[in-house]
Chains A and B, each alone.
Chain A
Amino acid sequence: MFPIHEIIAFFLFLGVVGKSAQFGLHAWLPDAMEGPTPVSALIHAATMVTAGVFLLVRCSPLFEFASVCLCLVAFIGAITALFGATVACFQEDLKKIIAYSTCSQLGYMVLACGLSLYSTGLFHFFNHAFFKALLFLSAGAVIHSLFGEQSNDAFTNFDVSFSFTEQMFFIGSSALSSVCFLTGFYSKD
């Protein structure tokens, strides 16, 4: 029989899985993209989904004594990171691509917590907020100027220049991809 602290940690982790859209309970996150872009940015960057990671960090003393649950945390985090990034490659909707990217990055944070690297998870959580907000708000600018069109296919039909927004996208994507000396590089390194 599992000790009581393992059971408590497990149920806490179930809350984290739901709140932070980890593998298995992730479906709500891309579907939440129906809302306005600034709200999506707020939800994805700083407030809602990251609360699960924050819960993991705050309860770290308990999780440290629950080694079996900690392995599960690391496993689910790794699966989510891989799954989110893979699914994002096959999405057509611009905002859904960014949403699955959030899912993947949350997987990295949970994985770091599962490996007892709580500070690293928190650091990535903090950095992620900036470049994800940038990506969402840039996406909002593009969508607005294309009359609400969000499909990837539709973008190829428009001969429109977004030179400034493109640069913003490039900076955000580079930080997300951990290009050297950008924000994502420090936390993922």
Chain B
Amino acid sequence: MLEVSNSFFYVDGLLITFLAFLAAIYTGYYTGLSFVAYREEDEEEELSLDAYAFKKNDFFLKEGSPLFIYSHVAETTGFILFVLCVLAFLSVIAGFLFFDFFLGIGGSA
């Protein structure tokens, strides 16, 4: 049992690292940091957070739109889409993949 939990410690470390990386990337997206955000092409424009835009931001609702009658596709794109796909894949397959790792070694009783 302790061997399993020791092994798990390393697996969970990887998971924590992965999620911390995601949190950093997402924070970058939301706050408009230059290393992840899409910069508009006008280089002459004075640098400000407004110069950075969420990638494909046009697919999201606009401020001031008549929200109650507004019909639009507000879809995730780019890196977020990729991350969600990875997590969705793991959500489907992780149980099958790691079943023996957790319940095969040392047993559950």
> What residues of chain A have their CB less than 8 Å away from a CB belonging to chain B?
36-39, 41-42, 45-47, 50, 54, 57-58, 60-61, 116-120, 122-123, 126-127, 129-131, 133-134, 137-138, 140-142, 144-147, 157-165, 167-168, 171-172, 175, 181-187
Contact = CB atoms under 8 A, between A and B. Distances in A.
Contacts, number: 177
B58 to A, nearest CB: 12
Contacts of A42: 16, 19-20, 22-23
A127 B99 CA distance: 10
Given A41-B22, A126-B11, A161-B73, A138 B95 contact: no
Interface residues of B, number: 53
Contacts of A138: 84
Nearest to A64: B1
A127 B103 CA distance: 13
A180 to B, nearest CB: 11
Interface string B8-44: 1101100110011011001100100000000000000
A58 B108 CA distance: 14
A60 B3 CA distance: 12
A42 B12 CA distance: 12
A128 to B, nearest CB: 10
Interface string B52-77: 00100000110100011111111110
A157 B99 contact: no
B84 A119 contact: no
B92 A183 contact: yes
Contacts of B98: 123, 126-127
B19 A175 contact: no
B70 A160 contact: yes
B49 interface: no
